[in-house]
Structure 1
Amino acid sequence: MNTFRLEIVTPERKIFSDDVVFLAVRGVEGDLGIAAHHIPFVTALAIAPAKVTFPDGREKRIAVSGGFLEVRGTEATILAEAAELPEEIDLERARRAKARAEAAMEEARRRTDAEAKIAYVKAELALRRALMRLEVGGGDGA
């Protein structure tokens, strides 16, 4: 079975490094599937889980909060702004972040000042990160 080395790195640390047979990610322009010997490229990533498939068929989801994917030769690297393995996710913290983001979005909707739109977009991104963390961590996500 053809494999390739996947590494997921954040500014703080290496989150993941292993041989995989498939990687599914969401780029800013849509979903991508990467297998061994994929053509080289670089793309920006959206806030969405990365799903890896191992040679034995196991799958793992990893929370990835934006960044870039680089594919070259027999290697793929995700340079993420933030990333977490499912076992590292604090579900209670993610639920609190979701509630804060929803409240901030509601507050921004009610405002009419120039900063309201920026506040809304920031809250929406925070909500996306919280929902992804709940999904990957096995929380309710809703």
Structure 2
Amino acid sequence: MATFKFELVSPERILFSGDVVSVIIPSIEGEMTILAGHAPLVATLKAGIVFAQTDGSNGKEFFVNGGLVEVNQSSTTILAEQGRFIEDVDNVVLDAEILTAETKLVGAQDEEERKRLHDVLVQLREFKGVFADRKAA
């Protein structure tokens, strides 16, 4: 299987850097799978899970909330506004993220910022439901 370089960077640290077979990314345009040799693109991320397939049967999962992904022929880089290892995410973490977004929304002065924060809240609440269903399975 062809591999490519993948990096997932949060403001605090590099969460992953290495060769992967594929990466599934939650963009605001929809979920997308990146494979080796993918056409170049830049997309905005929404709250969700990034799955990096490291070989034919293993992978790693991460939670991201916002940011950008840049894809070129030989590598994919995610610059996440917030990123965590999936095992570090639970309902308490998601509730805190939602509360932070709600607080920012109340204080937002600019209409464009209010719209962005509203969209973030919708994405976080949607993800919290998906996350709860996933934990229950």
User: What TM-score results when the alignment is normalised by the length of structure 1?
Assistant: 0.69
Aligned residue type for 1:70: E
Task: State the secondary structure of the residue aligned to 2:8.
Answer: strand
CA distance in 1 between counterparts of 2:120 and 2:36 reads: 37
Matched length: 125
Contact 1:97 1:127 in 2 (8 A): no
Contact 1:98 1:126 in 2 (8 A): no
State the match for 1:44 in structure 2: 44
- Root mean square deviation of aligned Cα: 3.5
What do the CA deviations read for 1:16-69 (whole angstroms, capped 9, x no partner)?
Answer: 112111111121111211000101111111111111112142132210111000
Which one has a bigger Cα radius of gyration?
Answer: 1
Instruction: State the identity %.
Output: 30
| 1:93 equivalenced with 2:92 (yes/no) | yes
Q: Which runs of 5+ in 1 are unaligned?
A: 109-117
Rate the CA distance shift 1:40–1:95 in 2: closer, same or farther, 3 A.
closer
User: What TM-score results when the alignment is normalised by the length of structure 2?
Assistant: 0.71
What do the CA deviations read for 1:72-98 (whole angstroms, capped 9, x no partner)?
Answer: 121100000011112333x36326538
Task: State the secondary structure of the residue aligned to 2:128.
Answer: helix
Spell out structure 1 runs of 4+ moving beyond 4 A: 98-101
| 1:62 equivalenced with 2:62 (yes/no) | yes
